[in-house]
Amino acid sequence: MSRLVCGGQVQANGIRQHYLRYGGAGPTLILVPGITSPAITWGFVAEIFACHFDTWVLDVRGRGLSDSGEGLDYGMESCADDINAFAEALGLHRYHLVGHSMGARFIMRAAVKQPDGVLSLSLIDPPVSGPGRRLYPGQWPWYQDSIREAISGMDAEAMKKYCPSWSETQRQLRAEWLHTCYEPAIRRAYDDFHQLDIHQYFRQLPAKTLLMVAGKGGVIQPEDEAEIRELCPDITITHVPDAGHMIPWDDFSGFFQAFGNFLGAPLHTETQS
């Protein structure tokens, strides 16, 4: 039985923000997905978090059912402000932040800008590219081509060329929702991976922090880990050796095992029913 409580929308930071809420009890956890992942595509992950947390999954602006289109700023500052305004609008005063990829970069900035209430940060394979640094390994045409094909209409079989290792259910869900990813918003986030350096924020993080590294993702290398640990000596670094960048898709149980006791209790996939 699903632990989905509801979907909803709230006006915060001047835009309509859409969310999915799972669990409804326990400490609050806000989950911010990556560059082309509407909230619904992280539902299978939120179901496990919901065993322990009141879990809120956001549609980042320009994705899913949140505000999109021309006239919005899709840069890091605005998206970080969205997270803080979302928490304030819904009266979420103390919360864990979990972010994947782009979402990890956003929660870092949000926590630095508004540290009060942040219990912890879980950074799931964040891009550590930036000016003068190694390029982010994902190539822009992969995003652009898949979005444009989704706008025209595609199914799970067509999505296989972009996500060959995913299950049919996962590919079908992505095929259904990828068209909601507004291409200029995705392009801005992708460009920011290369133009904005997040290392400056590691020294400023206000709460205990976990960095989860995908062993096969190519995003974070050993030298990056060493630099991050120097900047943030108390950081907890864990690895999911057999997973690519989309960690829970590649190793569902390994993703949750990598949290260990960081969030206060182990997370077990067998609790899902």
> Could you give the C-alpha distances from 170 to 17, 227, 270, in angstroms and in order?
24, 35, 19
Q: How many domains does the chain have?
A: 1
Give residue 265's pLDDT: 85
State residue 158 phi and psi, 5-degree precision. Answer: -65, -30
Whole-number Å distance between alpha carbons of 164 and 217? 15
Say if residue 271's pLDDT is above 60: no
Look at residue 56 and tell me if it is in a domain. yes
CB 228 within 8 A of CB 199: yes
In a domain, 187, yes or no: no
Domain-embedded: residue 152: no
- Taking only the tens place, the pLDDT of each residue in 17-26 is 999 999 999 9
pTM here is 0.97
State the Cα–Cα distance between residues 55 and 62, nearest whole angstrom.
Answer: 21
> Is 173 part of a structural domain of the chain?
no
How high is the mean pLDDT of the chain?
97
Q: Is residue 227 part of a domain?
A: yes
H-run or E-run covering 12:
strand 4-12
Q: Indicate whether 170 belongs to any domain.
A: no
> Does 105 have pLDDT greater than 90?
yes
Alpha helices in 68-115 (DSSP H): 76-89, 102-113
In a domain, 160, yes or no: no
For the segment 155-171, what is each residue's pLDDT rounded down to a tens digit?
999 999 999 999 999 99
Q: What tens digit of pLDDT does each residue of 64-89 get?
A: 999 999 999 999 999 999 999 999 99
CA geometry: angle 116, 37, 174, nearest 5 deg: 155
Residue 119 φ/ψ region, left for φ over 0, alpha for ψ in the -120 to 50 degree band, beta for the rest: alpha
* pLDDT for position 273: 46
Q: What percent of the chain shows pLDDT beyond 90?
A: 97
Yes or no: say if 42 and 69 are a contact pair by the CB < 8 Å rule: no
Cβ-based neighbours of 141, under 8 Å, separated by 6 or more: none
What range defines the domain where residue 10 resides?
4-131+196-271
Q: How many Å apart are CA 230 and CA 153, to the nearest integer?
A: 47
Task: Please give the structure tokens belonging to residue 103.
Answer: 């979402």
Residue 29 parent element (H or E): strand 28-32
Average pLDDT rounded to a whole number, residues 165-194: 97
> Can you give the CATH number for the domain in which 109 is found?
3.40.50.1820
Find where tokens 């060959």 sit: 164
